[in-house]
Amino acid sequence: MNAFYSDTFVLPLPEHHRFPMAKYRLVRERLIAEAVLLPEDLHIPEPVDWNDLRVVHDAAYVEAVANGTLPADMQRRIGFPWSPMMVERSRRSVGATLAAARDVVGAPAAGTRRMAPSVAANLAGGTHHAFRDRGEGFCVFNDVAVAASVLLRDGAIARAAVVDCDVHQGNGTAAIFRDEPAVFTFSLHGEKNFPFRKEVSDLDVTFADGAGDDEYLTALAAHLPGVLDTHRPDVVFYLAGADPYEGDRLGRLGLTIDGLRSRDRFVFDACRARGIPIVVTMSGGYAPDVNAIVTIHCNTIREAVRVLGAECCVPGAVPSATVPGAVPSAAVPGAVPSAAAPGAVPSAATHHAACTQPPAPCTAPCTAPGT
């Protein structure tokens, strides 16, 4: 799968700043070290075009960010000091989500390989507290809102859904799409947590302080299938925040690392079972133990790769990288792993090189034509 990163654009922060800037590089390095992704899966995105940013953000806000002329209180709400690198990194991160989105809907960025495009990732992003005219909570521009809006503008999709599992409400995203029926906003978040003035998403599911795996996963399972079946998005933007973790400094919930991985698996499986491409972004994560954050984010990518790996056991599905010009298997409506060969290990020729785990046992009846 293709993953886009911008951690080489490091914005200068004061010592002891609470934003864990290093986590992004550590996530990328561990994904490579543990062969979850291959070096050729990783790409530095182009910075998002200024005009594309203005599809969502007010021109005056974009200009003030670009020039470093935001009023001091607006810059403080963002939480980062202004620097040219803050601007560059913010544009690259939006560019990463847009590149991942184009990849999964069938318009991959130049130089990227075309795999069966059911999932692609931004190894940062999920900056959901950015509004049209301002940023806050370490969010300058709203990457998911820009990517979804650009795809809609370009006619690449007709509908999108945002599945926001960061522990904080996706307030900026909710506000941006309040009057946009083509984008369904679904946020699961802590009731008592930041932002303290919540916006109204199309669906908000809230949790009391201390809620754990069972409560969270039950709520996710109760609502996500209905969102996907009712809205029928052409693409899902998944914000896989690491901050519902019990060890998070800002999260106030009680999910375990295993529980968060189950969350990821449920989201990916629910989308895949319906043939919906997924763009995954990392979003927040503030545990004092940066290793825990990195593990949670890497698990998300592991599960994403597992979704692609499962493509391998669809009879006849060959990763398109091995067949130039092949139609991606995600284009087969309803294609799911075949029940005819439960647990079958695909041949090397049909197994995605980056899929380091055995394909998931086939649990759903195959509805693909002819199988």
Binding residues for Zn ion, rule: CB under 5 A, are: 166, 168, 241, 243, 284
Q: Which of 74, 76, 7, 75 is nearest to 42 (CA)?
A: 7
Taking the least distance from each CB to Zn ion, the nearer of 194 and 354 is: 194
Of 45 and 170, which has the nearer Cβ to Zn ion? 170
Nearest to 308 by CA among 258, 350, 338: 350
Nearer to Zn ion, 284 or 337 (CB): 284
- Output the smallest distance, CB 357 to Zn ion, in A: 28
Please, which residue, 166 or 204, has the CB nearer to Zn ion? 166
The per-residue DSSP string of 307-345 comes to HHHHHTTSTT---GGGSTTPPPGGGSTT----TTSTTPP
Is residue 77 helix, strand or coil? helix
Is 254:287 a contact under the CB 8 Å cutoff? no
Minimum CB separation from Zn ion for residue 139, in Å?
9
Q: Nearest distance from residue 284's CB to Zn ion, in Å?
A: 3
Q: Smallest gap, in angstroms, from Cβ of residue 194 to Zn ion?
A: 8
CB-CB contact of 115 with 319 (8 Å): yes
Give the CA distances from residue 124 to residues 11, 16, 106, 181, in Å, rounded to whole numbers and listed in that order.
14, 21, 22, 27
Question: What SS3 state is found at 241?
Answer: coil
Residue in 214, 202, 229, 298 with CA at minimum distance from that of residue 263: 214
Q: Give 93 or 338: the residue with its C-beta nearer to Zn ion.
A: 93
For Zn ion, the closer of residues 118 and 193 by Cβ is 193
What is the C-alpha separation between 371 and 368, in angstroms, rounded? Answer: 6
Q: Rank residues 241 and 259 by Cβ distance to Zn ion and give the closer one.
A: 241
Minimum distance from residue 159 beta carbon to Zn ion (Å): 25
Residue 208 contacts residue 183 (beta carbons within 8 Å): no
User: Least distance from C-beta 112 to Zn ion, angstroms?
Assistant: 28
Q: Which is nearer to Zn ion, 149 or 169 (CB)?
A: 169
**Closest separation in Å from C-beta 126 to Zn ion:** 8
Q: What is the CA radius of gyration of the chain?
A: 19
d(CA 368, CA 366): 6
Q: How far is CA 135 from CA 73, 138, 247, in A?
A: 11, 8, 26
Residue nearest to Zn ion (CB): 284
Residue 18 CB, nearest approach to Zn ion (Å): 12
